Amino acid sequence: MADPGFLFGPGPLGHWDDAYTSCPVVRRAADGYRMWYYGRERGFPQLAPEQEREALPMGRSGLAISRDGFQWQKVPGPGYHGSVLDPNPLPGQFDSFQVGITDVLLVGAEYRIYYQGGRLGSQRQGERIRPGFPLAIGLALSPDGLHLRRLPGPAPDGAWLSPGRAGEWDEWYVAFPRVNWLPSLGYRLTYSGAGPGGSAIGVADSPDGLQWEKRGPVFFPTTDPTAFDSRSVGSRCIISYGGRYLMAYEAVDQAGHFRIGLAESDDLLRWQRLRGRGPGGALIGYGAAGSFDEQAMGTPYLLAEPGGSLKLYYVGFNAQGRSGIGLLLCDGRDITRWERYQPPPPRPDPAG
């Protein structure tokens, strides 16, 4: 029987995602649900084995579909071995080495697909040297979510939002774009950024969802050294819920553990943390020993259902570094109380 919370993991050998799956992005559709996610294949181009520890589990992106949001089927795309978005073949572009879809909006009859990308090379971040960095933010358009067309941005390397200049808080990277529509403002984008001073979540605004103006960092690691989010904060998902904005975010504690937490806001600028029931105030603890999420949890994506219940999709890692996409559930009565989805037992073979 599958681990509690587990939905699916890497694909079969030879598929674009046979090494990693991560960062689920889930939207309801007329016929059910669609999930975009990123990952990569074994032996991902030009990534040496010794670089794996400092690399993201990212290289390409793909699509899966579901009728109920629980049982998922991967959809073969037109890209490399079934992907829907691959690194840019044009040299010198911000996304020429790795790409990862991190948010999808339906604007009229067209999908706007926001993604992060990195070029070939490495970046020193303090004592770390990370392949595929710096990261910048790009945009693709699609009529169906499966066939994507890049829309080059105003930066010379094609990005729509780029890292800051030397000395700015986000000089190392801008990543994990997530976009919300505010009726009184327009589009507000939150993103992860970092520099020598540490990590934070930043905000950029746009009247059209294309051209962005940075407003600076708005959410930082806590000063409590015992908290689950005392070292860094990163990927997040923000939804309108209960008259406020609810954010699920990935964070790291002083021991290097990746977990997920919650915060609330009225404007996406000022945030109030909600203490969860997991270690250090995290939303929930890791899975049992041997489970797919026994070692790390991250890249949360929230979905509010009719009636007020909530789904939270995430990536989990086991002790061997293998990833899988999972699901937490909340009935909405207490948004700090979550449980892992319980996969149904396998059906008996009618042939006996």
What per-residue confidence (pLDDT) applies to 216? 96
Instruction: Specify the residue for token string 């990590």.
Output: 199
Instruction: Report the alpha-carbon distance of residue 310 to residue 342 in Å, rounded.
Output: 15
What per-residue confidence (pLDDT) applies to 235? 97
Instruction: Report the alpha-carbon distance of residue 64 to residue 11 in Å, rounded.
Output: 12
Q: Which tokens in the block code for residue 303?
A: 């979905």
Q: What is the DSSP letter of 209?
A: S
What per-residue confidence (pLDDT) applies to 53? 81
Residues with Cβ within 8 Å of residue 281, at least 6 apart in sequence? 227, 228, 229, 261, 273, 275
- Three-state SS at 53: helix
What per-residue confidence (pLDDT) applies to 52? 81
Instruction: Specify the residue for token string 């061997």.
Output: 320
Q: Where are the alpha helices (DSSP H) in 151-303?
A: none
At 136-171, the pLDDT tens digits run: 999 999 999 999 999 999 999 999 999 999 999 999
* Superfamily of domain covering 6-336: Glycosyl hydrolase domain; family 43 (2.115.10.20)
Q: What is the DSSP letter of 54?
A: G
What per-residue confidence (pLDDT) applies to 1? 56
Does the predicted TM-score (pTM) go above 0.85? Answer: yes
What per-residue confidence (pLDDT) applies to 69? 96
- 146, 63 contact by CB (below 8 A): yes
Question: Residues of the chain whose pLDDT is less than 70?
Answer: 1, 346-352
What per-residue confidence (pLDDT) applies to 99? 98
Q: Which tokens in the block code for residue 207?
A: 């009247």
What per-residue confidence (pLDDT) applies to 327? 98
Instruction: Report the alpha-carbon distance of residue 42 to residue 222 in Å, rounded.
Output: 37
What per-residue confidence (pLDDT) applies to 51? 82
